[in-house]
Structure 1
Amino acid sequence: MEASWLETRWVRSLYLAFVFCLALGLLQAIKLHLRRQRLQRDLRSFPAPPAHWFHGHQQFLQDENMEQLEEFMDKYPCAFPCWVGPFQACLFIYDPEYAETVLSRTDPKSQYLSKFMTPCLGRGLGNLDGPTWFQHRRLLTPGFHSNILKTYVAVMARSVNTMLGKWEKIGGAQDTAVEVHEHINLMALDIIMKCAFSKETNCQTNSTHDPYVKAMFELDKILSHRFYNCLHHHDIIFKFSPQGYHFQKLSQVLRQYTEQVLQDRRKSLQGGVKQASAGKTEYQDFLDIVLSAQRENEDSFSDADLQSEMNTFILAGHSTTAASLSWFLYCLALNPEHQERCREEIRDVLGNGSSTTWEQLDELCFTSMCISETFRLFPPVPAVSRELSKPLTFPDGRALPAGMIVVLSIWGLHHNPAVWKNPKVFDPSRFSKENSAQRHPHAFLPFSAGSRNCIGQQFAMLELKVAIALILLRFKVAPASPTPLASSNHVILKPKNGIHLRLQKLPACPIPGYGD
């Protein structure tokens, strides 16, 4: 029986569609194959560790196998190619000379990873490039001037004292084991919400938290998951995954929240007075600074720009500081002699800490050295990346073409045995004036360097000093377990399973502003 004309046409159409899809798939396969060959050719002068044919070095990156990285640094001096899946590679560097070569240029940040944050944060300093980035940086810099930061000391102290009050209730005068990272994380978020929005979230005492607070915490986890899952690097695959669906919902929460905060602030300004939180001394928060910048640059700084910078400041600011403070307490718990010396210095300078000032905090020299040594061992941001806008030649003559992604491993740089003697040992004397003067200027980069260094580094240092001073005046910390802590290789270097410390309350005056 002969096939009808309709059946024949249907089969022919299906056959043509199949051939078309097969041709597209073949072209894509050829394109990817040529891409892999080009990357191998561009990186041929850099020997590479063995890599899985599909995952590349993904397992090493995801598990944060620091011992393996140490082996790689010993076997491959200065740098090695790192494959993220079969068709994406970068050059992983950890040498001061290499770092200086890269950071002295104006190459943009790699969009390969920063693009993941754009849907929730928008286009802010973290993922902008070129003249727009420079303009935003110039407009926001006044918000981190010392005259502005000085007014935050009392704000920060109140949030720290709230946390210390919780610790007193948990342990009283007993020597009690506490998972401190969760408490510190909430405290850091409480501080940054006050300094950014003058917003009282009560996140330290309210277990349900503010919707914006919950969204920030959950977004941080999803972004970390996506960074180290090469399948989710593809936008369509991620979008239709459970994490991608949740990510879109959380991003919407952030946008709606910042829009509402912006509207409320403008209404209060139109009324002539910004409503301060109850019991709070009036100060100029980050939103005030950004609104002022917008009024002076209405044509080039939109509401979307403003909201992006606010979200970037909060997401980047609270996680890094919380991780750094947690690691600092862990380091001092393992080194009680350094802890006691910090405490003595703080007592000499601040007394009981009831009226801490910017000038006093600047006198905490040994404490600052301990902070720097903590940054060396546990850099809050373990790596930064650049996409080369033009060819680059390193001091040893090896070169890379334009378009290549270079990842500076700050962790690797800070643990490089060619730079640091006994790099695993906690030794604050490395940061004495004499030792610092003898070291390569790009051997220690906790806040990166060059034009794209961290704009909020003074804010972070201020918050750390306030928190450290008040904590050490009231508590002695000791490790709750002899087992070394593992770190988790997220965007921020965090403790993998929290940080459990034994807190011993010291004889002192009652915590100001708590439980009166």
Structure 2
Amino acid sequence: MLELSLSWLGLGPVAASLWLLLLLVGASWILTRVLAWTYTFYNCCRLQCFQHPLKLKWFFAHLYLVPPTEQGLRKLIQLAANYPRGYKIWFGPITPKIIFCHPDMLRSITNASAAIAVKDMEFYNLLKPWLGDGLLLSAGDKWNKHCRMLTSAFHFNILKPYMKIFTKSTDIMHTKWECLVTEGHTHLDIYEHISLMTLDGLQKCVFSFDSNCQEDDLTQLPFLTMCIKESLRLHPPVTSIFRRCTQDIMLPDGRVIPKGVICLISIFATHHNPSVWPDPEVYDPFRFDPENIRGRSPLAFIPFSAGPRNCTGQTFAMTEMKVVLALTLLHFSFLPDKEEPHRKPELILRPEGGLWLQVEPLSAGAR
């Protein structure tokens, strides 16, 4: 009937077929958009049980509520205090996301399988041109295969010989500092030097192996470990991770995260949540004293993420930090800069403009 109508308008068979194809494509697109909008509206209705901050603007909503700056991080702390069990934000007028910053709420997401709480690839795909499709960005069978291979490589017994490599890399950094101090440069960007030292140690660990297990005593430093963990609580390397629900997920309080909704696990807000950590802005290493961690949820402290996709290299990282920090404090003293450093949350949390400290070598008698 439609072809006859088009022919009546004076169109030939070919033109009529093209017009028919365009009409079918247009109708399919409209139907798809109507279904998508209907599904979005249905999910928005189901998410009304989640509180949300006041929207900044109708179109952008909460898009610029938390900028990637020190001020943005402080806004996250404020939101965690106002909505300690999580809240909803809008990325534009029709795209909701659920923010979780409490262990009780995180458990439902982190305990879900990697097939149910999958990575939000709309966000992570932006990183592929720089990072490729490795362990961080891969999913499914490819991720499982890579994870199994790396887990055995990061076993603690395999990491033990690397402590000598960590020591050598730290010694190189210390030698540079001593030369700079001798030349009168006592005001150093510690962040830059430690980044280079970390890269040096990582490359040597990847491409070499030394069977000498002599630095064992450097890992048996309980108070130093407590200090490192408290620093990671205040300044987690990764501030948040994204997960998309492939099916409805029930929360402990009875609320439901609908299928298709993206959840943001705010590691930073969880670590600064006053309902989880009393006086969260106070640096107190004794929070991690064995007596004080009893009864605390393991999801209260997640600097290396949690669940099936937690950081495979966390033991490697903790071991390196303990070795480097122990040796550094043995040879140098530090004084803070006049200006307090500002944090900048990007792919990882880093100090904006570097981390400048006054460095002074310790005399042999003071060590």
TM-score by length of 1: 0.60
Deviations 1:354-402 (A, max 9, x none): x994521221110000000001100111112221122111111111112
Contact 1:175 1:502 in 2 (8 A): no
Equivalent residue runs for 1:139-178 within 5 Å: 139-172=149-182, 176-178=186-188
Contact 2:111 2:307 in 1 (8 A): yes
Contact 1:55 1:85 in 2 (8 A): yes
Equivalent residue runs for 1:15-414 within 5 Å: 34=38, 37-51=41-55, 52-64=57-69, 65-106=72-113, 107-172=117-182, 176-198=186-208, 282-283=209-210, 357-414=214-271
- Following superposition, the deviation at residue 87 of structure 1 comes to 4.5
Closer, same or farther in 2 for the Cα pair 1:142/1:495, shift >3 Å? same
Contact 1:96 1:443 in 2 (8 A): yes
Closer, same or farther in 2 for the Cα pair 1:419/1:66, shift >3 Å? same
- Following superposition, the deviation at residue 27 of structure 1 comes to 7.7
AA matched with 1:47: Q
Secondary structure, in 3 states, of the residue corresponding to 1:171? helix
**Comparing 470-479 with 426-435, which one deviates more in the overlay?**
470-479
Secondary structure, in 3 states, of the residue corresponding to 1:61? coil
**Comparing 460-469 with 24-33, which one deviates more in the overlay?**
24-33
Secondary structure, in 3 states, of the residue corresponding to 1:385? strand
Q: Distance in 2 between matches of 1:451 and 1:32?
A: 30
- Following superposition, the deviation at residue 183 of structure 1 comes to 1.3
Q: Distance in 2 between matches of 1:469 and 1:70?
A: 31
Contact 1:32 1:87 in 2 (8 A): no
- Following superposition, the deviation at residue 172 of structure 1 comes to 2.4
- Following superposition, the deviation at residue 77 of structure 1 comes to 3.0
AA matched with 1:67: R
Contact 1:473 1:508 in 2 (8 A): no
Which of 276, 282, 304 is equivalent to 1:447?
304
Secondary structure, in 3 states, of the residue corresponding to 1:438? coil
Equivalent residue runs for 1:453-492 within 5 Å: 453-481=310-338, 483-492=339-348
Percent identity between matched residues is 35
Relative to total residues, which structure has the larger helix share, 1 or 2?
A: 1
Q: Distance in 2 between matches of 1:472 and 1:70?
A: 31
Give every structure 1 segment of 4 or more consecutive aligned residues whose post-TM-superposition deviation is greater than 6 Å. 19-29
Contact 1:61 1:489 in 2 (8 A): no
Q: Distance in 2 between matches of 1:73 and 1:476?
A: 35
Deviations 1:106-127 (A, max 9, x none): 1222212122223343332212
AA matched with 2:53: P
Structure 1, unmatched stretches of 5+, are 1-8, 199-281, 285-354, 510-516
TM-score by length of 2: 0.83
- Following superposition, the deviation at residue 477 of structure 1 comes to 0.9
Q: Distance in 2 between matches of 1:22 and 1:105?
A: 39
Contact 1:361 1:466 in 2 (8 A): yes
AA matched with 2:316: F
- Following superposition, the deviation at residue 86 of structure 1 comes to 3.9
Which of 336, 346, 349 is equivalent to 1:493?
349
